[in-house]
Amino acid sequence: MRILALDQGTTSTRVLEALGGDLRIIGQMRHATTYPQPEWVEQDAREILANCRALLAAAGPADAIGLANQGESCLAWDPVTKEPLSAILTWQDRRTLAELSALAPQAEEVKALSGLPLDPYFSASKLGWLARRHPGARLGTTDAFLLDNLTGAFATDRATASRTGLINLATGEWDARLCAIFGVPMAALPEIRGNLAGFGRVEGTPITAAIVDQQAALYGHSCRSPGQAKITFGTGAFALAVTGPRVPQAGGLVPTVAWDLGAGMVYALDGGVQDAGSAVEWALRAGIAEGLQDFDGFGLSAVDRGLIFLPAFSGLGAPDWDRSAAPLIIGLGPEMTRRDLCQALIEGVAFQTAALVAELGRLLPLAGALSIDGGLANSAYFTQFLARLCQRPLTVSGFGECTALGVAQLAARALGAELDPVGAPLSVPMAEPRPDWQARFDAALQRARHWRS
């Protein structure tokens, strides 16, 4: 049996091949991200669609395809020609901040229905913005656009839909009241399906599974039972923990649908650091780092030397939810170099990630080690620093492409087959953090908050 996983991510699109017990990435294409105005973060839908088509054509025939998408990113397109009418407004886009401020009186109602706070990270306000500018258009997240063009199925999956802010989290269906609040016509939205319900065919090959990227990674980490959790370090850093068949109490995190595999919805708790890999990419573009090797091999911590870097380029996500926060560097001395900034940058990501883990641990009993994957998980310094902050055992996944693995496993499951986990996880040693670390970081965090407002 040959399974393909099409992992359409924030910075690139990858295809994984699962053939027997062998799993490998057989193609990858990057795409551009543009910043046309302050707070605007866009991508070209035509470029991403062309990349998906090229990668699938090069991969050739298979028994099934699984599609993972980048989440809350969304766009408008023509219902007849299926051509994009807008750019993709990515999950990092914050153009609707002012509109969301005007919706503050509805914040509790929105949260009660959707489980989500009023934040431009989620799709609802961006879809409303698009609806006002493109009446009569189809609206949806990137997966719905890709499926409509690749297979003719105008559909999304229940886990992805739960990230929009437009579904009733208890029913898993579009909610008329939420659509009215955000100004999104329900008729413009795709059909919601279970994750294994089938999503049409590409050149004869069925897309048997579709799911949002972080939930795909959760499945790929073999986190299937309540309390099992993972953290993926990609463009952002996203922690997700399985909770079970009931909508969970969320605290500073957000409840979400983990998946619907045909036996009812399974829920999870979710929290994200908005800038992780994107902060590393900024350091590379700015010339502060020359390569990924500049983010490992450090000695005494930067925070011990009084240097703190909060890389909040896209504001703060969970549990602070302050998208007006600004990046901050404090404690820079004349003896310090760009390497010190690289060290402080990844420590700043670790501090924010540890706050997510602390909130998860407050809300539910976490079972076993936290499983981590993604770019920063390859830095031994970062993983050891994070383990010290979290004061929990961590394991680095034995297979670095957990999103692609998870959606391949789901695509196989839809055919009645199972793909086994890949590789042995690596345990991360844990030591006690310095008692003043958190106080120093929290003081910097408070200075960064509400800066843009």
CATH number at residue 71: 3.30.420.40
Q: How confident is the model at residue 45 (pLDDT cuts 50, 70, 90)?
A: very high
Same domain, 199 and 319: no
Residue 443 belongs to a domain? yes
* Interacting residues of 15 by C-beta distance below 8 A, sequence separation 6+: 4, 5, 6, 7, 25, 26, 27, 28, 55, 56, 58, 59, 404
Q: What is the mean pLDDT of residues 183-205?
A: 97
Region 258-285 average pLDDT? 94
198: pLDDT confidence band, cut at 50, 70 and 90? very high
Q: Are residues 103 and 229 in the same domain?
A: no
CA-based nearest residue to 87, from 95, 98, 75, 97? 75
Please, are residues 148 and 77 in contact by the beta-carbon 8 Å criterion?
yes
Give mean pLDDT, residues 430-445.
89
Mean pLDDT for all residues in the chain: 94
pTM above 0.85, yes or no: yes
Within a domain: 284: yes
Average pLDDT score over residue span 190-212: 97
pLDDT at res. 23:
87
**Euclidean distance between CA atoms 167 and 179, whole angstroms:** 9
Quick one: pLDDT at residue 250? 83
Examine the domain organization and report whether 265 and 160 are in the same domain: no
Q: Which of 190, 213, 236 is the last residue of a domain?
A: 213
Q: Is residue 410 part of a domain?
A: no
Same domain, 91 and 24: yes
Q: What pLDDT sits at residue 96?
A: 96
402 within a domain of the structure (yes/no):
no
Tens of pLDDT, residues 329-342? 999 999 999 999 99
Please, what is the angle between helix 402-414 and helix 213-220, to 10°?
80
Closest CA to 270 of 66, 112, 384, 116: 116
Q: Are residues 71 and 178 in the same domain?
A: yes
Q: Are residues 208 and 238 in the same domain?
A: no
**357-411 residue pLDDT tens:** 999 999 999 988 899 998 899 999 999 999 999 998 899 988 878 999 999 999 9
Instruction: List, for residues 126-149, the tens digit of each pLDDT value.
Output: 999 999 999 999 999 999 999 999
Q: What is the pLDDT of residues 107-131, one digit of tens each?
A: 999 999 999 999 999 999 999 999 9
State how far the alpha carbon of 299 is from the alpha carbons of 10, 183, 302, 357, 380, in Å.
32, 53, 9, 25, 12
- Of the three residues 155, 182, 213, the one that is the final residue of a domain is 213
User: Would you state the pLDDT for residue 397?
Assistant: 85
| CA distance linking residue 312 with residue 279, whole number of Å | 8
Answer yes or no: do 15 and 157 share one domain.
yes
Whether 288 and 431 share a structural domain: yes
- Please check whether residue 412 lies inside any domain of the structure: no
SS (H, E, C) the chain: CEEEEEEECCCEEEEEEEECCEEEEEEEEECCCECCCCCCCEECHHHHHHHHHHHHHHHCCCCEEEEEECCCCEEEECCCCCCECCCEECCCCCCCHHHHHHCHHHHHHHHHHHCCCCCCCCHHHHHHHHHHHCCCCEEEEHHHHHHHHHCCCCEEEHHHHCCCCCEECCCCEECHHHHHHHCCCHHHCCEEECCCCCCCEECCEEEEEEEEHHHHHHHHCCCCCCCCEEEEECCCEEEEEEEECCCCCCCCCEEEEEEECCCCEEEEEEEEECCCHHHHHHHHHCCCCCCHHHHCCCCCCCHHHCCEEECCCCCECCCCCECCCCCEEECCCCCCCHHHHHHHHHHHHHHHHHHHHHHHHHHCCCCCCEEEEEHHHHCHHHHHHHHHHHCCCEEECCCCCHHHHHHHHHHHHHCCCCCCCCCCCEEECCCCCCCCHHHHHHHHHHHHCCCCC
Full residue range of the structural domain in which residue 171 is found: 2-213
Per-residue pLDDT, 229: 95
Q: Do 187 and 321 belong together in one domain?
A: no
Confidence grade of residue 288 (pLDDT, cut at 50, 70, 90): very high
Whole-angstrom Cα distance, residue 218 to residue 402? 8
157 and 264 together in one domain: no
Q: Count of domains in the chain? A: 2
In a domain, 407, yes or no: no
Among 41-45, 80-84, 107-111, 271-275, the range scoring the smallest mean pLDDT is 271-275
**pLDDT for the residue numbered 305:** 94
Q: Is residue 403 part of a domain?
A: no
Same domain flag for 279 and 202:
no
Residue 239: is it exposed, middle or buried by C-beta count within 10 angstroms (0-12/13-18/19+)?
Answer: buried
Reported as a pLDDT band with limits 50, 70 and 90, residue 453 is low
Dihedral sign of CA atoms 211, 212, 216, 218 in order: negative
Report the pLDDT value the prediction gives residue 425, as an integer from 0 to 100. Answer: 81
For residues 48 and 36, is the Cβ–Cβ distance under 8 A? no
Across 176-180, 301-305, 311-315, least confident range: 311-315
Could you give the CA distance from residue 205 to residue 63 in angstroms, rounded to a whole number?
A: 6
Asked, for residue 415, whether it belongs to a domain, the answer is no
Same domain, 95 and 188: yes
- Do 281 and 295 touch, CB atoms closer than 8 A? no
- The dihedrals phi and psi of 286, each to the nearest 5 degrees, come to -80, -5
Which pLDDT does position 407 carry in this prediction?
Answer: 96
pLDDT for the residue 77: 98
The pLDDT confidence band at residue 424, using thresholds 50, 70 and 90, is confident
The domain boundary residue, chosen from 160, 183, 213: 213
Report the pLDDT averaged over residues 174-199: 97
